C-alpha cells in the first residue's frame, strides 16, 4: 500500500486578476501514500485551500505537476475518486438536509432503497437525525457543516479532501467526529488530506503533518506522527503528544 497516491512536483499557483498577482503557492513538492492520512497545517491565507483545490483538479497549477494514482488529477476526478468538504458548507438551498446528503449518491446512480439506508446512517453519525426534513437555512452554522461532512462521506470516496471541516464545531462534537472519521477511514481505507489550523487535531488524526509557511505558501516541514493506531482520547494527554505539539509549534515559529 505504499505507492504514492498523490504526488506534487514543484507545484506553484499564481492568481491573476486585472490589476495584481498573488503567488498563493510556490514550489510545493510532496507525496501522499495510498491510504495515508495527512494534514495540511498553516496560518490563514498560506495556501492550504489552494493546494487542496489543486489536488481536487478544481484549479490547475500555473507551474509544476500533479499525479494522482499515477494518472492526472483530472482522470481521478472523472473516476469519481474524490469526496470534498469545503471550508463553507455549500449546501443547496432547495434541498432538504437528507436530500443534500443524497446528492452524491444520486450522481453515482445508487439505487433508491440503498441510498436511504446510507443517508440515515450518516445522519446519525453527525447527530442530525431529527433535522433531516429541514432546509439548510433552518440549521445552525455547525449543523450545516455537519451536513456537508456527511455528504462527503456518503460515497465513501477513495480520496477524501477536507478543508477545515470541524472548525465550526464545539470541542465535544469535534472530538467525537475526529474519532468517527478515524474509524470510517480505517474501514474504508481512503486517502485523506485534511486541512486544519488546529495543531492538536492534526496530530491526533494524521500519519504525517505538512506544515506550510505563508507569503508565498511553501512547504516548511513535514512531521511524522509516530503515535500508534488506533488513536485514543488518552493519547491527547501523553507526553509524546505534547512533544509533537511543541515540535510543530517550533517549526511554525521558525517561519
Ligand X SMILES: Nc1ncnc2c1ncn2[C@@H]1O[C@H](COP(=O)(O)OP(=O)(O)OP(=O)(O)O)[C@@H](O)[C@H]1O
Residues in contact with ligand X by CB under 6 A are 15, 17, 22, 24, 42, 44-50, 87, 137-143
Q: Which residue has the cell 438551498?
A: 93
- Count the neighbouring beta carbons within 10 Å of the beta carbon of residue 121: 12
Residue 27: which region, alpha, beta or left (left: phi > 0; alpha: psi -120 to 50)?
left
| Range 13-72, binding Mg ion (CB under 5 A) | 49
Binding partner at 92 among its own copies, Mg ion, other proteins, none, C-beta below 5 to 8 Å by kind? other proteins
Rounded Cα–Cα distance for residues 58 and 22 (Å): 18
133 binds its own copies (CB under 8 A): yes
Contacts with other proteins by CB under 8 A lie at 15-18, 53, 56-59, 77-80, 82-84, 86, 88, 90, 92-95, 103-104, 106-108, 135, 137, 155, 161
Stretch that binds its own copies, among 55-63, 142-150, 184-192, 227-235 (CB under 8 A): 142-150
Residue nearer to Mg ion on the CB measure, 70 or 141: 141
Residue nearer to other proteins on the CB measure, 23 or 255: 23
To other proteins, the closest distance from the beta carbon of 80 in angstroms equals 5
Residue nearer to its own copies on the CB measure, 123 or 139: 139
Binding partner at 50 among ligand X, Mg ion, other proteins, none, C-beta below 5 to 8 Å by kind? ligand X
Rounded Cα–Cα distance for residues 86 and 69 (Å): 22
Stretch that binds its own copies, among 58-66, 130-138, 179-187, 225-233 (CB under 8 A): 130-138
Binding partner at 197 among its own copies, other proteins, Mg ion, none, C-beta below 5 to 8 Å by kind? its own copies
Stretch that binds Mg ion, among 66-74, 81-89, 182-190, 230-238 (CB under 5 A): 81-89
In DSSP terms, 217 is beta-bridged to 25
Cα 214 to Cα 137, 241, 254: the distances in Å are: 34, 25, 12
Residue nearer to other proteins on the CB measure, 135 or 252: 135
Helices 97-107 & 112-125, crossing angle to 10 degrees? 130
Binding partner at 127 among other proteins, Mg ion, ligand X, none, C-beta below 5 to 8 Å by kind? none
Residue nearer to other proteins on the CB measure, 42 or 136: 136
242 binds its own copies (CB under 8 A): no
To its own copies, the closest distance from the beta carbon of 33 in angstroms equals 26
In DSSP terms, 219 is beta-bridged to 212
Amino acid at each position: 500500500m505504499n505507492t504514492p497516491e498523490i504526488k506534487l512536483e514543484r507545484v506553484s499557483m499564481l492568481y491573476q486578476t486585472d490589476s495584481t498577482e498573488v503567488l498563493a503557492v510556490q514550489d510545493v513538492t510532496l507525496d501522499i501514500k495510498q491510504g495515508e492520512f495527512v494534514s495540511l497545517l498553516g496560518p490563514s491565507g498560506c495556501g492550504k485551500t489552494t493546494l487542496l483545490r489543486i489536488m481536487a483538479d478544481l484549479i490547475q497549477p500555473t507551474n509544476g505537476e500533479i499525479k494522482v494514482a499515477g494518472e492526472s488529477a483530472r482522470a481521478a476526478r472523472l473516476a469519481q475518486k474524490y469526496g470534498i468538504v469545503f471550508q463553507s458548507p455549500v449546501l443547496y438551498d432547495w434541498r432538504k438536509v437528507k436530500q443534500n446528503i443524497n446528492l452524491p449518491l444520486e450522481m453515482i446512480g445508487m439505487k433508491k432503497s440503498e441510498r436511504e439506508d446510507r443517508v440515515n446512517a450518516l445522519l446519525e453519525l453527525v447527530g442530525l437525525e431529527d433535522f433531516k426534513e429541514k432546509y439548510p437555512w433552518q440549521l445552525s452554522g455547525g449543523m450545516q457543516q455537519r451536513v456537508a461532512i456527511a455528504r462527503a462521506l456518503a460515497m465513501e470516496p477513495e480520496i477524501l479532501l477536507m478543508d477545515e471541516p470541524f472548525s465550526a464545531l464545539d470541542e465535544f462534537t469535534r472530538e467525537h467526529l475526529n474519532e468517527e472519521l478515524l474509524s470510517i477511514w480505517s474501514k474504508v481505507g481512503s486517502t485523506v488530506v485534511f486541512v486544519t489550523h488546529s495543531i492538536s487535531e492534526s496530530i491526533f488524526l494524521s500519519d504525517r503533518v505538512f506544515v506550510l509557511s505563508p507569503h508565498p505558501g511553501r512547504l516548511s516541514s513535514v512531521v511524522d506522527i509516530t503515535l500508534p493506531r488506533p488513536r485514543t482520547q488518552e493519547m491527547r494527554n501523553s507526553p509524546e503528544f505534547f512533544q509533537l505539539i511543541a515540535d510543530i509549534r517550533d517549526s511554525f515559529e521558525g517561519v
